[in-house]
Amino acid sequence: MHLRALFSVVAIALLVVGPGAANAGTIVSPSVYRFLDHGKGNLGPDYGLRVDSLGKLFSVVLGGAEVLLTWDGGDTASIMGTLFDPDEGELWDVEYELSGITSDVEGFDATDGTGFLTDPDDPGNPIEINSKQDGSGIAFTFRADSHRLDPDDGMVPVGRGWLLPDGSTDDWLVRGEVVPQPATGLLLAVGLAGMAVHRRRSQRAARTGRAGA
């Protein structure tokens, strides 16, 4: 994450205690959201991110995992945090950037997404992940539509996104909730997370430079 992007992410934290967050149960407003495992997908056990190409079903809540979606109402958003691999009992890092966002009162749709998964057993070789679009040109959607949930649950924000390769079931399927913490605490948490990502990217760039020398 570049420093300019980091400053933007930190600024978003101020939105958490604003009026938009109070209505997040029925309207997806610009804010910071914590992901929860969806719980009622139609394939296999509960998960937050399914990556069949790696043979992984990641949880976004178990084992100390936490994944945050940060959106300031613009045409980009970030997904950052840790995923839990129940097979190995390990936490993986994830960083994923959404772009081409258009929005309305129910939420937003993105046309593109790209990022990395980092295996704790091989931290020097992050795994690139890239989006693929559905038939309507959407790569990720985050809407208060209670997708595949009990209607009695109300209009719960649900995030869905699809990943390459074609022919493989690689996708996000999550519920979202506004992060209920003071802006000052969130500023620190998001800032530290951003600095960690920036440090990892700098280290990768340095390794790449040495390898090409």
Average pLDDT over residues 111-137: 96
* pLDDT higher than 90, residue 175: yes
- 6 or 93: whose pLDDT is higher? 93
What are the two backbone dihedrals, phi and then psi, of residue 187, each rounded to the nearest 5 degrees?
-55, -45
pLDDT on residue 4: 43
Read off the pLDDT band of 7 (50, 70, 90).
very low
- AA letter at 82: T
Read off the pLDDT band of 11 (50, 70, 90).
very low
* pLDDT higher than 60, residue 210: no
Least confidently predicted of 25-34, 96-105, 177-186:
177-186
pLDDT on residue 195: 59
CA–CA separation, 142 and 164 (whole Å): 19
pLDDT on residue 139: 98
- 4 or 199: whose pLDDT is higher? 199
* pLDDT higher than 60, residue 64: yes
The total of other beta-carbon atoms located within 10 Å of residue 166's CB is 7
Highest mean pLDDT among 2-11, 130-139, 159-168: 130-139
Least confidently predicted of 4-8, 104-108, 198-202, 209-213:
4-8
Please, what is the average pLDDT of the chain?
A: 80
CA–CA separation, 65 and 91 (whole Å): 7
Average pLDDT over residues 177-197: 63
Reported as a single tens digit per residue, the pLDDT across 103-120 is 998 999 999 999 999 999
Read off the pLDDT band of 9 (50, 70, 90).
very low
Share of the chain above pLDDT 70, in %: 68
Packing angle of the helix pair 183-212, 3-12 (nearest 10 deg): 160
Radius of gyration for the chain, computed over Cα atoms and rounded to the nearest angstrom? 17
Tokens of 159: 């995030």
Q: What is the DSSP string of the chain?
A: --HHHHHHHHHHGGGTTSHHHHTTTTS--SEEEEEEE-S--SSSS--SEEEGGGTEEEBSSGGG-EEEEEE-SSSEEEEEEEEEETTTTEEEEEEEEEES-EEETTEEEESEEEEEEE-TT-TTSPEEEEB---TTS-SEEEEES-TTS-GGG-S-EEEEEEBSSTTS-EEEEEEEEE--S-HHHHHHHHHHHHHHHHHHHHHHHHHHHHHH-
Least confidently predicted of 13-27, 110-124, 143-157:
13-27
